[in-house]
Every structure is written in structure tokens, then in C-alpha cells.
Amino acid sequence: MKEHERTVIGGGFLLLLLGWLGFLVHSSPRFAGSALGSAFGIAGAVLMLFPLVYTLAKRIPAVQNRTKKYVSLQSLMTLHVYTGILGPLLAIIHTGHKYESWLGITLTATMLLVVVSGFVLRYMLQYVSHEIKDKLLLLQTARGDLDSAWGVLENSPDEANSLSKSRLLVAGLESVGIDISTSREAAADVTRLAESVADLEYAIRTHEFFKRWFSRALVIHIVLSLLFYLLLGLHIWAGIYFGLRWFS
């Protein structure tokens, strides 16, 4: 994600999370059914249909073959992200912060969960993946430096008297294939490098743990999206049905 895109999406995401809490200080029961409120609702619903294009194009070859003639998959992804933020923002304005019916409350909650899971997929998962890649490169370099430092230490026994040996140091060195059980003390540079390797390995394991959990957000995102569109359809049907009955 580019820097300007991260700023815009992050700001919109924060605004959306704070915007739905407006019912704590404001509520307009008649706004959703007014001409202006309906305009916000229709615009938001239309915008929230655009993310479907990317989903279908990515997973259905026939749709992808048709759309790629006019727009790339990456452009559809960008459209998916921006409309996935702007549409819900307009929908929140449409509600007038009136949350009374079970359908409206469930629809709003599901919409917010879809946005949150999508944000995790777009930003957090990408960030964690980049962090793992960078730390693996650093780990490779650190292990090379550690091997070199240990080779120098083996050839200079007098240097192996800087710091006392600890169980943690022994375990750290043994994890990278270095046995210091015959040495009473390890040199400071070897200790420092061994601690760096251990820290990097721990950081990588932690990031991989979060990556596995964030990857599951894709399944959650798809399931929530299907539920959201179902509820959105019911909401539109109810608005048309009861609206026409009111006119009659």
C-alpha cells in the first residue's frame, strides 16, 4: 500500500469507527427517510456494490477475462478499497444515528465488521508479511556474522574471557549449531550476536503467529460480506415495500 493510500484509507477507517458512535450525542429519527437521507443511503448502497466486482473478477475466470480488457485487477482492488470505505461512511450518515430496528442494527454492525476485516487484510497482513521478510534477511546476516565471530573466537582462546556463560546463552548458541559447553566463557561480541539472533527468531515466530491469524480474516471477511449483502437486500426491500404502502 502506498503512503498516500495508507493515509487516506487509515483516516477514512478511523472516521468510520468514530462516526457510528455519533448516536451518543445525536439522533435524527426522520433523516433516514428524508430526501437527503435517502440520497445518502442510495449512494452508499451503490458504492458498496462496487467491491463485488473485484471479488467476482478475482475468483471467477470468466468475469476476470471480461474485465481485464477494460481495467486491471489491481485497479479493481484500489476501487474495492476506496468504495469499501466511502460507501459505509455514506451509510452511517444515512442512518441519522437512529439504531432501533433489529435489521438496521445488525446491518450496521455487520457492515463495520466487514470494513474492519477488510482493513486487516489490506494493511495489517501486508505489514506483517513485509516485517517477516525483512527480519529473515536480517537473521541471515546475523547468523553469518555470528559464525564468523565464533570462528575468530575459536582461533583466539585468550579472547574467550569477556562474559560468564549462562544457560540462556548456551541455549541460544546451540539453536544455531554452536556448542560452547567446553568453554568457560564467551566473548562479548559472540554474546551480542547470539542475543541478536535469538531476538530476531522470536520476532519472526511472533509475526508468523499473527500472520496465521490475520490470514483467517479472509474467510471471515467473505462470510461477513455475504451476510452483509443479504441484510442490505432485506433493508432495501423493506424500504421499498413499506414506503410504497405509506404512499398508498
Could you tell me if residue 47 is inside a domain? yes
Distances (CA, A) of 41 to 49, 50, 206, 226: 13, 15, 42, 19
For the beta carbon of residue 96, count every other beta carbon within 10 angstroms.
Answer: 21
Q: Are residues 113 and 189 in the same domain?
A: no
The pLDDT tens digits of the residues spanning 94-103 come to 988 888 788 8
Residues 20 and 52 in one domain: yes
d(C-alpha 120, C-alpha 110), whole Å? 15
Domain that holds residue 46: 3-123+217-247
Cα four-point dihedral sign 161, 163, 165, 168 = negative
Q: pTM score > 0.95 for this model?
A: no
For 54-61, which contacts have Cβ atoms below 8 Å and span 24 or more sequence positions? 54/79, 54/80, 55/80, 55/222, 55/225
Concatenated DSSP letters for 139-188?
Answer: HHHHHHHHHHHHHHHHH-GGG--SEE--HHHHHHHHHTT---TT-SEE-H
Q: Are residues 17 and 111 in the same domain?
A: yes
Do 202 and 222 fall within a single domain? no
Residues 3-55 have pLDDT tens digits of 677 788 888 888 888 888 877 777 888 888 788 888 999 999 999 998 888 88
Q: For the segment 182-232, what is each residue's pLDDT rounded down to a tens digit?
A: 444 445 666 777 778 788 888 888 878 887 777 777 888 889 999 999 999
Q: Is there a single domain that holds both residue 115 and residue 173?
A: no
